[in-house]
Chain A
Amino acid sequence: MRFYEFEARKIVELAGIPVTEYGFCTTAEQARKAAETIGGPVVVKSQVLSGGRMKAGGVKFAETPDEAAEHAEAILKLEINGQMPRGVLVDPKAEVKQEYYAGVVWDGTAKRPLMLFSDIGGIDIEEVAEKHPDHVGRGHLSNLLPISDFEAKQTIAATGVTGSQLNRATQVLARLARLFRDNDMILAEINPLAELTDGSFVALDAHMEMENEAVGRQKALLRRQLEIAADDTREPYEPSAFERNVAAIDAADHRGVIQGRDHGFQGNLGLVIGAGGGSLTLTDAVRSQGGKPANYSEIGGNPSVAKACGLAKQVLEKDGVEKIAVMMSIVSNTRVDIVARGVIKACLELGRDPGEAIAIFRIPGAWEEEGFKILERYGVEYCDRSVSIWEAAGRAVAKIQGTPA
């Protein structure tokens, strides 16, 4: 789950990390008042869940409250990467001596949190790591043991920071590491972490992402402290008609589970796929062999015929879809005959010949003999577990490309 900057700043503040006095505003008038309260020059920043705000004109500097209100008015109407802003953040234009980077990310390979620190802040840490690797300190943390300040200090010291800067930055990084673990984050980043002219350290910008699976147990933070509504799911983009329709079909029938995504997919091979991680593997298998998926989907848990039919119809009706591949990775309890009925019915209801529209059917598992009888009756090419998912995906790709498998 992603957080807006104003929420990330609040999380940082709750963890005891100093931040500048900022105001979250949803109107130009509120922005004017926030700028008056702050006093002096301010920066007005669009609150969208997207990068590239500066380039898109979503970050503007103002010398006076009136100017801040003007900028807020414009920014509140400005769409950035398909998103309208939730509001604007009015922040003082800080007198910065030096910018640093402090972050904690989940290291999926090591399966532990990883602290990162750099004495070069304000730009992407990836860029710093590439161009100035000696300016990036790293340190893994335990998932269980208490986080000690010395671990943060070692990470910072590796970048050459010493003296009072080292001591002050240590407090920030250690607190950031604790908030990362306590709040089930997958990313907690302060960039830039600014050293002001008076020597104090403040977080000028923060970026936080929480593990989706942890949302249920972080209600105290999400609902009470950040006042985020339960239905505010923070999807990275607006669901397409395909995605909404598939979700509605799934919600209307308790039997089994279907999901569908088509963001970023524009291919000609529709995928009706699933089973224990099978969807990702099958999508990869199709792409690796030159296929162009039209969507991603998941089907399993013994859906009804109507549900399997509903998903297949949605996939078949997508623009550009020529054929569908119906595949699962492993032997599961999802009944082969029920899914076979569903996908064939989808073809028939759309006036398509199942034998032509279904490039391949590979679902091994319960009631497969019954399923194979149905598939044979309608002339659908099928295979059992003796054909690997790689090979099945390859046959589907070959069929849609008109080349021999």
Chain B
Amino acid sequence: MPKQLDKVFIDVEVDASVAADGALAAKLEEVCPVDIFKAAEGGVEVVEGNLDECVLCNLCVDAAPEGAVRVVKLYER
């Protein structure tokens, strides 16, 4: 069975100061077109299996307080 790799190209970092914010979690879940964010009980949950589907729209970055969400292009590191 071939393996499935996640987070090969894209990672998303959510600042610890907002990670438990339920309202922000719901907002991120709503704006992301490829379901990278999930509003979980503890706040923002990042769905690792969807990270590489990121279309670099930056809607999550715009929806969060400045600097709270960062989209990292792993291929630029």
Contacts and interface: CB of A to CB of B under 8 A. Distances in A.
Interface of A: 304-306, 313, 317, 335, 337-338, 341, 344-345, 348-350, 370, 373-374, 377-378
A348 B75 contact: no
For the residues of A in contact with B, the DSSP-based class is: helix
Interface string B34-77: 10000000000000000011011000000000000000010110
Contacts of A377: 75-76
Given A341-B9, A348-B8, A374-B75, A313 B53 contact: no
11 contacts: A304-B34, A306-B53, A337-B56, A345-B8, A348-B8, A349-B3, A349-B5, A350-B2, A370-B56, A374-B75, A377-B76
A335 to B, nearest CB: 7
Given A341-B8, A345-B9, 5 more contacts: A306-B53, A335-B55, A348-B5, A349-B2, A349-B5
A345 B2 CA distance: 12
Contacts of B76: 373, 377
B17 interface: no
Interface in B1-36: 2-5, 8-9, 34
B53 A305 contact: yes
Contacts of A378: 75
Nearest to B52: A305
A17 B3 CA distance: 61
Nearest to B77: A377
A324 B4 CA distance: 20
Contacts of A373: 73, 75-76
B8 A313 contact: no
Contacts of A374: 9, 75
Contact of B52 (A313, A335, A345): A345
Nearest to B34: A304
Contacts of B75: 373-374, 377-378
Contacts of B4: 349
A374 B52 CA distance: 12
Nearest to A253: B53
A374 B76 CA distance: 8
A335 B76 CA distance: 18
A341 B50 CA distance: 13
Contacts of A338: 55
A341 B54 CA distance: 11
Contacts of A341: 8-9, 52
A345 B56 contact: no
Contacts of B8: 341, 344-345, 348
